[in-house]
Amino acid sequence: MDGNGRWATRRYLPRVAGHKRGMDTLRNCVRLCGERGIRVLTVFAFSSENWKRPADEVSSLMDLLAGALGREVSLLQAEGVQLHFVGDRSPLSDKIRAGLVQAEAVTAGNQRLIFNICFNYGGRWDITQAAAALAARGEAITEASMNAAMSLAHVPDPDLLIRTGGERRLSNFLLWQAAYCEFYFSDKLWPEFDAQALDEALADFAQRERRFGRTSEQLAAPESKRAA
Ligand code: FPP
Protein backbone atom coordinates (compact mmCIF):
# COMPACT_ATOMS: atom_id res chain seq x y z
CA MET A 1 0.00 0.00 0.00
CA ASP A 2 2.66 2.48 -1.14
CA GLY A 3 2.21 6.18 -1.73
CA ASN A 4 0.38 7.49 1.35
CA GLY A 5 3.17 9.91 2.24
CA ARG A 6 3.41 11.36 -1.28
CA TRP A 7 -0.36 11.67 -1.52
CA ALA A 8 -0.33 13.81 1.64
CA THR A 9 2.80 15.84 0.82
CA ARG A 10 1.40 16.81 -2.58
CA ARG A 11 -1.57 18.32 -0.73
CA TYR A 12 0.64 20.12 1.82
CA LEU A 13 -0.71 17.78 4.48
CA PRO A 14 1.27 15.88 7.12
CA ARG A 15 2.19 12.32 6.10
CA VAL A 16 -0.16 10.88 8.71
CA ALA A 17 -3.08 12.37 6.74
CA GLY A 18 -2.02 10.09 3.88
CA HIS A 19 -2.02 7.06 6.16
CA LYS A 20 -5.50 8.00 7.40
CA ARG A 21 -6.73 8.28 3.82
CA GLY A 22 -4.95 5.00 3.15
CA MET A 23 -7.02 3.40 5.88
CA ASP A 24 -10.21 4.54 4.09
CA THR A 25 -8.88 3.02 0.85
CA LEU A 26 -8.11 -0.21 2.67
CA ARG A 27 -11.63 -0.41 4.14
CA ASN A 28 -13.04 0.07 0.64
CA CYS A 29 -10.62 -2.49 -0.83
CA VAL A 30 -11.69 -5.15 1.68
CA ARG A 31 -15.33 -4.59 0.71
CA LEU A 32 -14.51 -4.71 -3.01
CA CYS A 33 -12.52 -7.94 -2.63
CA GLY A 34 -15.43 -9.54 -0.76
CA GLU A 35 -17.84 -8.46 -3.50
CA ARG A 36 -15.56 -9.85 -6.22
CA GLY A 37 -15.31 -13.27 -4.62
CA ILE A 38 -11.64 -12.97 -3.67
CA ARG A 39 -11.04 -15.40 -0.82
CA VAL A 40 -7.77 -14.06 0.66
CA LEU A 41 -6.41 -10.51 0.90
CA THR A 42 -3.00 -9.85 2.45
CA VAL A 43 -1.75 -6.28 2.96
CA PHE A 44 1.59 -4.82 4.03
CA ALA A 45 0.75 -2.21 6.67
CA PHE A 46 4.04 -1.88 8.56
CA SER A 47 7.36 -3.46 7.65
CA SER A 48 10.18 -4.59 9.93
CA GLU A 49 12.10 -1.65 8.45
CA ASN A 50 9.39 1.00 9.06
CA TRP A 51 10.69 1.50 12.63
CA LYS A 52 13.41 3.62 10.95
CA ARG A 53 10.81 6.30 10.09
CA PRO A 54 10.51 9.46 12.19
CA ALA A 55 9.19 8.63 15.68
CA ASP A 56 6.00 10.68 15.21
CA GLU A 57 5.11 8.76 12.03
CA VAL A 58 5.76 5.40 13.72
CA SER A 59 3.58 6.40 16.64
CA SER A 60 0.82 7.63 14.26
CA LEU A 61 0.83 4.24 12.54
CA MET A 62 0.57 2.51 15.94
CA ASP A 63 -2.34 4.82 16.82
CA LEU A 64 -4.02 4.01 13.51
CA LEU A 65 -3.72 0.31 14.26
CA ALA A 66 -5.07 0.77 17.81
CA GLY A 67 -7.94 2.92 16.50
CA ALA A 68 -8.77 0.37 13.81
CA LEU A 69 -8.96 -2.39 16.41
CA GLY A 70 -11.56 -0.37 18.26
CA ARG A 71 -13.56 0.85 15.27
CA GLU A 72 -13.31 -1.49 12.33
CA VAL A 73 -13.73 -4.95 13.79
CA SER A 74 -17.54 -4.83 13.97
CA LEU A 75 -17.60 -3.77 10.30
CA LEU A 76 -15.33 -6.67 9.32
CA GLN A 77 -17.53 -8.97 11.37
CA ALA A 78 -20.62 -7.82 9.45
CA GLU A 79 -18.82 -8.48 6.14
CA GLY A 80 -17.79 -12.03 7.08
CA VAL A 81 -14.08 -11.20 7.24
CA GLN A 82 -11.68 -13.44 9.17
CA LEU A 83 -8.85 -11.25 10.41
CA HIS A 84 -5.24 -12.32 10.97
CA PHE A 85 -2.29 -10.22 12.06
CA VAL A 86 0.99 -11.45 10.67
CA GLY A 87 4.37 -10.32 11.96
CA ASP A 88 6.52 -10.01 15.04
CA ARG A 89 4.27 -8.80 17.84
CA SER A 90 6.93 -8.70 20.53
CA PRO A 91 7.79 -4.96 20.24
CA LEU A 92 4.12 -3.89 20.22
CA SER A 93 2.47 -2.54 23.36
CA ASP A 94 0.58 -4.93 25.65
CA LYS A 95 -2.65 -3.09 24.81
CA ILE A 96 -2.19 -3.49 21.05
CA ARG A 97 -1.16 -7.13 21.39
CA ALA A 98 -4.27 -7.87 23.45
CA GLY A 99 -6.36 -6.04 20.83
CA LEU A 100 -4.89 -8.16 18.02
CA VAL A 101 -5.69 -11.39 19.86
CA GLN A 102 -9.22 -10.24 20.56
CA ALA A 103 -9.91 -9.07 16.99
CA GLU A 104 -8.70 -12.42 15.66
CA ALA A 105 -10.83 -14.34 18.16
CA VAL A 106 -13.98 -12.33 17.40
CA THR A 107 -13.68 -12.86 13.62
CA ALA A 108 -12.31 -16.44 13.69
CA GLY A 109 -15.58 -18.04 12.57
CA ASN A 110 -16.01 -15.85 9.45
CA GLN A 111 -15.45 -17.53 6.09
CA ARG A 112 -16.20 -15.02 3.31
CA LEU A 113 -12.77 -13.38 3.12
CA ILE A 114 -9.54 -14.11 4.97
CA PHE A 115 -7.82 -10.77 5.58
CA ASN A 116 -4.17 -10.82 6.65
CA ILE A 117 -2.67 -7.58 7.92
CA CYS A 118 1.12 -7.80 7.87
CA PHE A 119 2.30 -5.55 10.68
CA ASN A 120 5.91 -5.46 11.81
CA TYR A 121 6.38 -8.06 9.12
CA GLY A 122 9.31 -8.84 6.87
CA GLY A 123 9.81 -11.75 4.49
CA ARG A 124 13.26 -12.40 5.92
CA TRP A 125 11.85 -12.35 9.46
CA ASP A 126 9.25 -14.92 8.42
CA ILE A 127 11.73 -17.30 6.79
CA THR A 128 14.07 -16.96 9.78
CA GLN A 129 11.36 -17.55 12.39
CA ALA A 130 10.12 -20.61 10.49
CA ALA A 131 13.62 -22.13 10.26
CA ALA A 132 14.31 -21.33 13.92
CA ALA A 133 11.02 -22.95 15.01
CA LEU A 134 11.83 -26.12 13.07
CA ALA A 135 15.36 -26.22 14.49
CA ALA A 136 14.06 -25.74 18.04
CA ARG A 137 11.70 -28.71 17.56
CA GLY A 138 14.45 -30.78 15.95
CA GLU A 139 12.45 -31.08 12.72
CA ALA A 140 14.06 -31.53 9.31
CA ILE A 141 14.02 -28.48 7.06
CA THR A 142 12.09 -29.37 3.91
CA GLU A 143 9.92 -27.26 1.64
CA ALA A 144 6.82 -28.79 3.24
CA SER A 145 7.97 -28.27 6.83
CA MET A 146 8.98 -24.68 6.03
CA ASN A 147 5.59 -24.03 4.40
CA ALA A 148 3.89 -25.30 7.54
CA ALA A 149 6.03 -23.13 9.83
CA MET A 150 5.60 -19.86 7.88
CA SER A 151 3.36 -17.18 9.32
CA LEU A 152 0.96 -17.46 6.38
CA ALA A 153 0.57 -21.25 6.62
CA HIS A 154 -3.21 -20.77 6.98
CA VAL A 155 -3.59 -19.53 3.38
CA PRO A 156 -2.37 -20.68 -0.06
CA ASP A 157 0.44 -18.78 -1.78
CA PRO A 158 -0.75 -15.53 -3.34
CA ASP A 159 -1.80 -15.46 -7.01
CA LEU A 160 -1.42 -11.72 -7.55
CA LEU A 161 0.74 -9.15 -5.79
CA ILE A 162 -0.18 -5.50 -6.39
CA ARG A 163 2.23 -2.73 -5.48
CA THR A 164 0.96 0.82 -5.77
CA GLY A 165 2.94 4.08 -5.77
CA GLY A 166 5.06 3.43 -8.86
CA GLU A 167 7.92 1.50 -7.23
CA ARG A 168 8.89 -1.80 -8.79
CA ARG A 169 10.37 -3.79 -5.94
CA LEU A 170 9.29 -6.32 -3.35
CA SER A 171 10.68 -4.51 -0.26
CA ASN A 172 10.86 -7.66 1.87
CA PHE A 173 7.20 -8.66 1.36
CA LEU A 174 6.21 -12.34 1.01
CA LEU A 175 9.68 -13.43 -0.12
CA TRP A 176 8.89 -17.12 0.32
CA GLN A 177 5.26 -17.08 -0.73
CA ALA A 178 5.68 -14.98 -3.90
CA ALA A 179 7.71 -17.64 -5.74
CA TYR A 180 5.02 -18.12 -8.42
CA CYS A 181 2.99 -15.01 -7.84
CA GLU A 182 2.05 -12.60 -10.63
CA PHE A 183 3.23 -9.03 -10.07
CA TYR A 184 1.24 -5.93 -10.93
CA PHE A 185 2.67 -2.45 -10.47
CA SER A 186 0.35 0.52 -10.38
CA ASP A 187 1.49 4.13 -10.59
CA LYS A 188 -1.51 5.16 -8.52
CA LEU A 189 -0.74 6.23 -4.97
CA TRP A 190 -2.46 3.94 -2.47
CA PRO A 191 -5.08 6.52 -1.33
CA GLU A 192 -6.20 6.73 -4.99
CA PHE A 193 -6.44 2.97 -5.53
CA ASP A 194 -10.17 2.69 -6.21
CA ALA A 195 -12.56 0.09 -7.65
CA GLN A 196 -11.50 0.88 -11.21
CA ALA A 197 -7.82 0.45 -10.36
CA LEU A 198 -8.50 -2.86 -8.63
CA ASP A 199 -10.56 -4.11 -11.57
CA GLU A 200 -7.79 -3.13 -14.00
CA ALA A 201 -5.31 -5.15 -11.95
CA LEU A 202 -7.66 -8.16 -11.87
CA ALA A 203 -8.28 -7.90 -15.64
CA ASP A 204 -4.53 -7.78 -16.26
CA PHE A 205 -4.04 -10.81 -14.03
CA ALA A 206 -6.75 -12.71 -15.92
CA GLN A 207 -4.66 -12.36 -19.15
CA ARG A 208 -1.54 -13.94 -17.67
CA GLU A 209 -0.46 -17.43 -18.62
CA ARG A 210 0.70 -19.17 -15.45
CA ARG A 211 2.96 -22.04 -16.41
CA PHE A 212 4.46 -23.03 -13.04
CA GLY A 213 7.54 -24.37 -14.83
CA ARG A 214 5.66 -26.09 -17.66
CA THR A 215 5.51 -25.05 -21.32
CA SER A 216 2.58 -23.37 -23.06
CA GLU A 217 2.09 -26.52 -25.16
CA GLN A 218 1.76 -28.62 -22.02
CA LEU A 219 -0.87 -26.26 -20.63
CA ALA A 220 -2.87 -26.57 -23.86
CA ALA A 221 -2.78 -30.38 -23.69
CA PRO A 222 -5.47 -32.31 -21.78
CA GLU A 223 -4.60 -32.88 -18.10
CA SER A 224 -4.12 -36.64 -18.67
CA LYS A 225 -1.32 -35.96 -21.21
CA ARG A 226 0.71 -33.66 -18.95
CA ALA A 227 3.85 -34.87 -17.23
CA ALA A 228 3.51 -35.11 -13.45
C1 FPP B 1 3.61 3.05 2.62
O2 FPP B 1 3.44 4.33 2.01
C3 FPP B 1 2.54 2.86 3.59
C4 FPP B 1 2.73 2.55 4.90
C5 FPP B 1 4.06 2.37 5.50
C6 FPP B 1 1.60 2.43 5.83
C7 FPP B 1 0.39 1.75 5.28
C8 FPP B 1 -0.74 1.98 6.20
C9 FPP B 1 -2.02 2.14 5.81
C10 FPP B 1 -2.52 2.04 4.42
C11 FPP B 1 -3.06 2.42 6.82
C12 FPP B 1 -3.64 1.15 7.35
C13 FPP B 1 -2.96 0.85 8.59
C14 FPP B 1 -3.22 -0.17 9.41
C15 FPP B 1 -2.62 -0.10 10.74
C16 FPP B 1 -4.05 -1.34 9.06
P17 FPP B 1 4.53 5.45 2.26
O18 FPP B 1 4.19 6.18 3.50
O19 FPP B 1 5.90 4.84 2.22
O20 FPP B 1 4.30 6.38 1.03
P21 FPP B 1 5.42 7.25 0.28
O22 FPP B 1 6.28 6.25 -0.47
O23 FPP B 1 4.60 8.08 -0.63
O24 FPP B 1 6.17 8.04 1.30
Q: What is the pLDDT of residues 167-189, one digit of tens each?
A: 999 999 999 999 999 999 999 99
- Residue 212 confidence class, pLDDT cut points 50, 70, 90: confident
CA 96 distance to own-chain centroid: 19
Q: Is 45 in the pocket of ligand 1 (CB under 6 A)?
A: yes
Q: Is 34 in the pocket of ligand 1 (CB under 6 A)?
A: no
Spell out the alpha helix ranges (H) of 4-72.
4-9, 15-35, 55-71
Residue 222 inside a domain? The answer is no
Residue 217 inside a domain? The answer is no
2 counts as catalytic: yes
Residue 72 inside a domain? The answer is yes
- How many domains, the chain? 1
Nearest-atom number in ligand 1 for the CA of 8 is 23
Residue 214 inside a domain? The answer is no
Does 70 have pLDDT greater than 90? no
Residue 41 inside a domain? The answer is yes
Does 226 have pLDDT greater than 80? no
HSE, CB side, 13 Å, CA atoms: give it for residue 213: 5
Residue 121 inside a domain? The answer is yes
pLDDT score at 228: 59
pTM recorded for the entire structure: 0.95
Q: Does residue 129 contact residue 100 with C-beta atoms inside 8 Å?
A: no
Residue 227 inside a domain? The answer is no
Mean pLDDT for the chain overall: 96
88 counts as catalytic: no
Atom 3 (ligand 1) nearest CA: 2
Reduced to 3 states, what is the DSSP secondary structure of residue 27?
Answer: helix
* Residue pLDDT, tens place only, 110-144: 999 999 999 999 999 999 999 999 999 999 999 99
pLDDT score at 227: 62
Quote the ligand 1 centre to 122 CA distance (angstroms).
15
CATH of the domain at 75: 3.40.1180.10
Residue 210 inside a domain? The answer is no
Minimum mean pLDDT range among 26-30, 68-72, 224-228: 224-228
Domain limits for position 143:
4-204
Q: Determine the Cα–Cα distance for residues 30 and 115; give it in Å rounded to an integer.
A: 8
Quote the ligand 1 centre to 1 CA distance (angstroms).
6
Does 19 have pLDDT greater than 70? yes
